[in-house]
Amino acid sequence: MTQPTTASAATKSYSKVYKVAKAQLGKRYGWGSTGPSSFDCSGLTSYVYKKGASIKIPRTAQAQYNKYKHVKYAHAKKGDLVFFGSSVWGISHVGMYIGGGKMIDSQNRGVITEAVKAPWWHYVGTARVTTLS
């Protein structure tokens, strides 16, 4: 006899997290903003995980970097967080990896999709908040 699947197992899907992130595209940047009309970088990632996966993550990019398990960029999965700054102690930006070398992030041009390895960012690391199906 097979066991029924639980509803909670299905709540942490990449498609739900991505849908929330994609819906924010085009919204304006606001330093210290956590949405829903404007976002700073970590405000966006916090909002996306809260609304898309019911996970409360730390508020700042540095705190997000410090909290989660780091993975090599070559092993990045959709939904992982990608971090930028001067060093592991100087994280100043975060985005959400969406595959194909791209991320959704909030920066001075607002919430956009851009390349993780864009020349204006100094990539520092990748972290996995949770395993998304």
Please give the Cα distance from 52 to 20 (Å, whole number).
Answer: 6
Please give the Cα distance from 88 to 46 (Å, whole number).
Answer: 20
Please give the Cα distance from 21 to 111 (Å, whole number).
Answer: 9
Catalytic residue among 40, 41, 70, 80: 41
The maximal CA–CA distance of the chain, rounded, in angstroms, is: 56
75 catalytic residue (yes or no): no
**Residue found under tokens 């204006």:** 120
Count helices and strands in the chain by DSSP H and E runs: 4, 8
41 catalytic residue (yes or no): yes
For the chain, first and last CA: distance in Å? 24
105 catalytic residue (yes or no): yes
Residues marked as catalytic: 41, 93, 105
